[in-house]
């Protein structure tokens, strides 16, 4: 099958490479000429495990090409996927749909024969109707159907998630469009991925409801962690005790610094706006977004308490900047408000991230960036673990003790160390939702 993907970012590139790997003939289109030029020279612009290899193998096999031109790719394609960004609109939190609508207009001009226009971007309920209207207005003669097919992949595990999804959601009442979608995803039947056919609006809402629910789970355990700290309980054990209940499940019950990343913050805000617009306010999600927002700066107060009351003139080493491990994505990373708060409180901040520093420099230019964890810790009063990269899980604690100041503090915002270990070696140790162990 011929498939066109409009928007060659995280979702577009992963989807395009995976579809090509299934044997489809794929063109990934983007308006960013530099990105397309880089991809045509074999440079993959994002860090995602396995992606560079998958892209190069499929380019070599001539199943995957990159272009800035809509014409050829859309004309040939039986399915055209829209995978452009839908960031928060400045000022009100609604999803900014300008990229989606621009893509719809460009697609409309090139439609030839029956074509399925597939919305892969996360878009508010009713966007499919508007895209259909835009295309119909531009091309009253065109034969097409607009389908919602939200994407659930996680950055850092994107290829696996795309090839082994828990489910594929296809929102359309058009029988011809459903057949095309079944053909696109046929290779996944082997992986036993169920396809859930729904109405278009329902599919659009499934994506937001799923993300808001996961954000709620994270925020719930974060508040339970705060309570654990007050009452002397251990949130790790509480989460395990909850998660072993199959009705609850153990995933997304890791207390931490608050959710961030390219999806949860903007998707919860957009869903809240949809609820308000339709006079069906989502009060739980509103509270989740508010609690999460305040949490990130509150993490800076943990650092203050670990160093004994004031950060003025103190040096803080931050390990991990990206919003999660195995990606270089800095969008809405919790490290950003945390570091801003540390600066506001008078701290000098040094930082190290295994992969994300080039991206981080664009949003946090004023940091001192270091070569590795130990150089970062040099002369620091406090070391804050923000992102749980594998290489931070077994740090040489004696070496850290040597390079840090006399009464070093470790603030472990991912609970990756057993509290006793660090206290025994003379660190002040703070984590999330566990009894704090201080140096005797
Ligand atoms: N990143 C994720 O983990 C993830 C997961 C599931 C769903 N999504 C959703 O998928 C969508 C895309 O997210 P992303 O992270 O891949 O975004 P991204 O910012 O990485 O990529 C978007 C790309 O679209 C291009 N673009 C913008 N307007 C265009 C146009 N008119 N024509 C062609 N290209 C255009 C941009 O240049 C950019 O390369 C969003 O709606 C997002 O919410 C993202």
Under 8 Å between Cβ of 14 and 51 = yes
On the 0-12 / 13-18 / 19+ scale of CB atoms within 10 A, 256 is: buried
Residue 263 is among the residues annotated as catalytic for this protein: yes
> pTM for the complete prediction?
0.96
pLDDT band at 440 (very low <50, low <70, confident <90, very high): very low
For ligand 1, pick from 85, 97, 207, 269 the residue to mutate: most ligand atoms within 8 Å of CB: 85
DSSP string for residues in 403-417: HS-SS-EEEETT--S
H-only helix segments in 29-166: 33-40, 51-60, 71-76, 98-110, 127-138, 158-163
CA–CA dist 282, 301 (Å, integer): 30
Q: Which of 28, 263, 370, 376 is catalytic?
A: 263
Cα(354) to centroid of ligand 1, in Å? 24
The answer on pLDDT for 439 being more than 70 is: no
Q: Is 10 in the pocket of ligand 1 (CB under 6 A)?
A: yes
**Which of 79, 218, 221, 240 minimizes the C-alpha distance to 144?**
79
pLDDT digits (tens, 9 = 90+) for 264-305: 999 999 999 999 999 999 999 999 999 999 998 899 999 999
Is 409 a residue whose pLDDT tops 50? yes
Give residues with Cβ within 8 angstroms of 406, minimum separation 6: none
The per-residue pLDDT for range 325-378, each reduced to its tens digit, is 999 999 999 999 999 999 999 999 999 999 999 999 999 998 999 999 999 999
Does the CB atom of residue 385 touch ligand 1 within 6 A? no
Burial class of residue 310 in the structure, from the number of CB atoms within 10 Å of its CB (0-12 exposed, 13-18 middle, 19+ buried)? exposed
Establish whether residue 102 lines the binding site of ligand 1, counting it when its CB lies within 6 angstroms of any ligand atom.
Answer: yes
Please give the average per-residue pLDDT across 95-112, as a whole number: 98
376: burial class by Cβ within 10 Å (0-12, 13-18, 19+)? buried
Residue among 194, 189, 144 at smallest CA distance from 168: 194
* 138 pLDDT above the threshold of 60: yes
CA distance 271 to 206: 11
Measured from the Cα of 152, ligand 1's closest atom is 6
Pick the atom of ligand 1 nearest to 122's CA: 41
């Amino acid at each position: 099958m011929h498939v066109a993907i409009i928007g060659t970012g995280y979702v577009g590139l992963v989807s395009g490479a995976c579809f090509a790997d299934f044997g489809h003939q794929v063109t990934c289109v983007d308006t960013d000429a530099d990105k397309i030029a880089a991809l045509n020279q074999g440079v993959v612009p994002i860090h995602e495990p396995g992606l560079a290899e998958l892209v190069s193998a499929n380019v070599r096999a001539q199943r995957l090409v990159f272009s800035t031109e809509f014409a050829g790719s859309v004309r040939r394609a039986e399915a055209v996927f829209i995978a452009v960004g839908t960031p928060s609109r400045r000022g009100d939190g609604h999803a900014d749909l300008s990229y989606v609508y621009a893509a719809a207009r460009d697609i409309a001009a090139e439609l030839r024969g029956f074509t399925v226009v597939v919305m892969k971007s996360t878009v508010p309920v009713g966007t499919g109707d508007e895209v259909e209207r835009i295309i119909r207005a531009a091309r009253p003669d065109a034969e097409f159907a607009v389908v919602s097919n939200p994407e659930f992949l996680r950055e850092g595990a994107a290829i696996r998630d795309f090839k082994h999804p828990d489910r594929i959601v296809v929102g359309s009442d058009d029988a011809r469009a459903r057949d095309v979608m079944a053909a696109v995803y046929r290779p996944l039947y082997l992986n036993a991925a169920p396809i859930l056919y729904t109405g278009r609006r329902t599919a659009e809402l499934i994506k937001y409801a799923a993300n808001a629910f996961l954000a709620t789970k994270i925020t719930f355990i974060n508040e339970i962690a705060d309570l654990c700290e007050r009452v002397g309980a251990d949130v790790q054990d509480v989460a395990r005790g909850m998660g072993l209940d199959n009705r609850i499940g153990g995933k997304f019950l890791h207390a931490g610094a608050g959710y961030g990343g390219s999806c949860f913050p903007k998707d919860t805000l957009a869903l809240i706006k949809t609820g308000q617009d339709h006079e069906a306010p989502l009060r739980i999600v509103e509270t989740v977004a508010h609690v999460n927002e305040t949490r990130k700066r509150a993490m800076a107060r943990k650092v203050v308490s670990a160093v004994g009351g004031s950060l003025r003139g103190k040096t803080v080493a931050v390990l991990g900047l990206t919003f999660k491990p195995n990606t270089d994505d800095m969008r809405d990373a919790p490290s950003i408000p945390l570091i801003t708060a540390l600066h506001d409180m008078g701290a000098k901040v040094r930082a190290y991230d295994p992969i994300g520093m080039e991206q981080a420099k664009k949003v946090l230019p004023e940091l001192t960036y270091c070569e590795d964890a130990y150089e970062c810790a040099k002369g620091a009063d406090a070391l804050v673990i923000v992102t749980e990269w594998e290489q931070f899980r077994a740090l040489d604690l004696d070496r850290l003790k040597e390079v840090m100041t006399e009464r070093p503090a470790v603030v472990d915002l991912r609970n990756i160390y057993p509290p006793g270990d660090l206290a025994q070696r003379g660190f002040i140790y703070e984590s999330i939702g566990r009894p704090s162990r201080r140096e005797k």
